[in-house]
Amino acid sequence: MKKGQVHVTETILVVFIVLIILIIGVVGYYRFSFEKNKSLEGELSERAATIMLAKAINLDELACGDGDCVDAGKFLPFRRVLGEDFGRFRSIFGRKKIVFRQIYPVLDENVFDVECDTAKYIQIDYPNNCGKWTVYEFNPENEYGSKISTIVSLYYPEFDKYVVGRLEIDHYDTIRK
């Protein structure tokens, strides 16, 4: 090989190595940015869920008239309204599952996880025949969610009775658009 050709080959080799290093750097950078954005998304989703926790208790669609408790008499009507205009509520709540449970007085173990629906409501032993109300659920991709919860005061207007309840929100790592 002639001396000139050696120089050209060396130059090409140096540029090639520089390019390889650059590509590795760029790929690494993009992966890092992607991970950073993904964790930001999770962080925002959790923050949104925490705010939603406080918001759901005070949501006028579910709260008592004076705003100090959650009106269990509104759960089934709310679900009915939700079914009539799901798109609007989806834009408010996003990908979440919102559940209210009665936790005190303690219910029978066999009804703790039973969903309260119209069939249960019209029975004479309501509200002791069911233990939870799923007021909203949207999880089209069947993702695993993170759960946050808080204690609430549940009011049964039919019996003018207050019980201790729990609001649980499962949030799926997608920010509301």
At 135, which helix (H) or strand (E)?
strand 132-137
- Our finding on whether 125 is near other proteins (CB under 8 A) is no
How far apart CA 104 and CA 164 sit, in angstroms, is 5
Site string for other proteins, 59-88 (x = CB under 8 A): -xx-x-x-x---x-xx-xxx-xx---x--x
Give buried/exposed letters for 55-87 (b at 16+ CB in 10 A, else e): ebbebeebbbeeeebbbbebbbebeeebeeeee
Shorter beta-carbon distance to other proteins: residue 108 or 158: 158
**Which of 57, 76, 78 minimizes the C-alpha distance to 153?**
57
- Least Å distance, CB 109 to other proteins, is 26
Tokens of 151: 């204690």
- Our finding on whether 26 is near other proteins (CB under 8 A) is yes
Binding residue for other proteins, selected from 9, 13, 15, 38, defined by CB under 8 A: 15
Q: Is 7 helix (H, G, I), strand (E, B) or coil?
A: helix
- The distance in angstroms from the start CA to the end CA of the chain is 63
Site string for other proteins, 85-114 (x = CB under 8 A): x--x--xx----------------------
Binding site for other proteins (CB under 8 A): 4, 7-8, 11, 15, 18, 22, 26, 33, 37, 40, 44, 47-48, 51, 54-55, 58, 60-61, 63, 65, 67, 71, 73-74, 76-78, 80-81, 85, 88, 91-92, 121-122, 157-158, 160, 175, 177
